[in-house]
Amino acid sequence: MKLVTAIIKPHKLDSVREALSDRGITGLTATEVKGFGRQKGHTELYRGAEYVIDFLPKIKLEIAISSQLVETVIETIIEVASSGKIGDGKIFVSSLEEVIRIRTGETGEDAI
């Protein structure tokens, strides 16, 4: 079992979710986050005062899946979320030791 964590631009969330759903990936968690990377930030003007926004809004997706689906998930996210410009995000893949569904007590891939 694997946990795929992806950081994407907020306006790509619906497209990524729909594409994953079309490929049979039905469960994910999305969290609004802020990040700082190569994209840096930008300066905005508010009531005549300039201020710097260092942390830009992003969406963090967490998808627990069987190991056989990892490549499908990665390819789908890249295909849909990529614009070819800086700030498209990153994907992290880590191993899951155990998954437990609270309602039924199912464990392992049955709980995913």
The DSSP secondary structure of 24-48, one letter per residue, reads T----EEEEEEE-STT--EEEEETT
Question: Is-contact 47 96, C-beta < 8 A?
Answer: no
User: Tens of pLDDT along 38-85?
Assistant: 766 666 677 777 767 777 899 999 999 999 999 999 999 999 999 998
pLDDT at position 31 is 98
Residue 63 burial (CB < 10 Å; 0-12/13-18/19+)? buried
pLDDT the model gives residue 97? 96
Q: List CB contacts of 93: < 8 A, sequence separation 6 or more.
A: 2, 3, 4, 5, 70, 74
- Nearest-angstrom CA–CA distance, 101 and 111: 5
Q: Which amino acid is at 62?
A: E
The yes/no answer on whether domain 2-111 falls in CATH 3.60.20.10 is: no
Q: Which two tokens stand for residue 98?
A: 């155990």
pTM of the model: 0.85
